Amino acid sequence: MASRAGASSFGAPFLAADVGGTHARIGLVVGSAAGRRPVSVLHYHRYSCADWSGLTAMLQDFVGQLSGTPHAAARENLRHCAVACAGYVLDDAIVNENLPWPVSIRELRDSLGLRRLAVINDFEAVAYATQFIEAGETRSIIDAVQPAASGPVLVMGPGTGLGSAVLLPGQPRAQVLATEAGQISLAPGTEREIEILRVLGRGRPYVSFEDALSGPGLLKLYRALCELRASPARLLTPAEITGAALARSDAAAVESLDVFCGLLGSFVGDLVLLYGARGGVYLAGGILPQIQPFLLASTFAARYFNKGVMRAYLQQVPVRLIEHGQLGVIGAAGWFLDGQQGE
């Protein structure tokens, strides 16, 4: 677990935000030396990104909300903000194709009068926060044959995009390895997936795992399978596809979600081997909690273990599902506080 020195020495409330392609979660937080978590969330709100002109407008609205809460006094003294955001920082901008609007770091800092604005990748923040969750806050997808060993922890999951990060235990604090694993070339594992890859790759030089394992990716899978089945693509959104698959009301939707789960299992197994994630896997993102029963009944586990001589290795690595919730906010805030220790 991360050291609490930063938390105990940074007593002023500050802003923490977790910004994905679909939702932004914003919290007023303060360092806490008590309890398992490094911060306490004083006020919290979730925003739909499509309803707002940008992150600046959302943060300004959130700060405005504080006037009607017991934390109104903090409003005049907010000088720090930690932002967990999909994508990466390039000069003044946070770059990500899945965000509905550009994000300027300078604009955020100046418009809110911040002294410091720290930015971390959204899955880095979730990975950081997994240090502070209890087993009861997760749901088992694959149980290990023995308790998880100490070692790297893989955190990944599909949402608007396909995020992935690795928590590296260490002293005095854990480190997080950010990855762009979702951009790895899609690797089919069945004849049907080879057919799908041919459709997805038509007219383009490269197909990534994110092109299949994300909300937009599920829609691509569905359209490709409808073409292969010579049936009309009646469903128009990822939510419609998952709903029809869970209801078993559309054969192409059921096959699409089954392919989705199979590809996910294979990919997770590959990443465990790549990063030596003996500490376990946490599946996050916006899609998986909605399809848990389907995921458990799918080929996910079979494909996860289908790694030849490495099956016995993977049997020692548990896979658990977590609800995103406030984890990104907590992770961004905890990471920010840890950074204060070296200053």
Q: Is the model's pLDDT at 271 over the cut of 60? A: yes
Collapsed DSSP state (helix, strand, coil) of residue 41: strand
- What secondary structure does DSSP assign to 196-229, as a single string? HHHHHTTT-S--BGGGTSSHHHHHHHHHHHHHHH
Residue 2: per-residue pLDDT: 35
- Paired with 121 in beta bridges are 85
Q: Is the model's pLDDT at 338 over the cut of 90? A: no
Confidence category of residue 80, pLDDT binned at 50, 70, 90: very high
pLDDT digits (tens, 9 = 90+) for 137-159: 899 999 988 876 789 999 999 98
Residue 85: per-residue pLDDT: 85
Tell whether pTM > 0.85: yes
CA 300/CA 310 separation, integer angstroms: 16
Do residues 104 and 39 lie in contact, with contact meaning Cβ atoms separated by under 8 Å? Answer: no
CA 82/CA 119 separation, integer angstroms: 6
Domains (range + CATH), the chain: 5-129+325-340 (3.30.420.40), 144-317 (3.40.367.20)
Confidence category of residue 224, pLDDT binned at 50, 70, 90: very high
Looking at per-residue confidence, does 335 or 196 come out higher?
A: 196
Mean pLDDT, rounded, of the chain: 89
- Per-residue pLDDT averaged across 33-47, rounded? 81
Q: Is the model's pLDDT at 100 over the cut of 80? A: no
Confidence category of residue 69, pLDDT binned at 50, 70, 90: confident
CA 40/CA 29 separation, integer angstroms: 6
Residue 301: per-residue pLDDT: 97
DSSP for residue 342:
T
Closest to 65 in 3D by CA, of 47, 51, 48, 83: 47
Q: Is the model's pLDDT at 343 over the cut of 60? A: no
Do residues 295 and 141 lie in contact, with contact meaning Cβ atoms separated by under 8 Å? Answer: yes
H-helix or E-strand spanning residue 23: strand 23-31
Do residues 328 and 84 lie in contact, with contact meaning Cβ atoms separated by under 8 Å? Answer: yes
